[in-house]
Amino acid sequence: MPEGTLIIQVGRRGGFTLPKKLRDKYNIRSGDMLTLLDLDGVFVLIPKVSKIDELADEIARELQDKGITLEEMLRLLREERERYYEERYGQV
């Protein structure tokens, strides 16, 4: 088994226990949130909130501060995508 690989058992209700060694190493405490990333059957467990979630929240705050709604942002992105497509591939 490769170094860093651990075997854990899933309980009846779907829970499992992270080994104390890992909890201590990554400062994971009871009640902490973890992010589970499913890469087509390969699970990646990320301690705390992922950077992606933090960046998404930051972008949402920036848009809100500028008075831009999500719908407006999506509309602008669609228009830009159409403009790019037309420039690159000609008329649709």
pLDDT per position as a tens digit, 30-89:
988 888 888 988 888 887 766 777 788 888 888 889 998 888 888 888 899 899 888 888
DSSP state of 57: H
Residues 36 and 79 in one domain: no
Question: What is the number of domains present in the chain?
Answer: 2
Residues 59 and 43 in one domain: no
Range of the domain at 17: 1-48
Handedness of CA 81, 83, 85, 91 (dihedral sign): positive
Overall pTM > 0.75: no
The rounded distance, in Å, linking the Cα atoms of 46 and 39 is 13
The rounded distance, in Å, linking the Cα atoms of 77 and 59 is 15
The number of beta carbons lying within 10 Å of the beta carbon of residue 73 is 14
DSSP state of 49: S
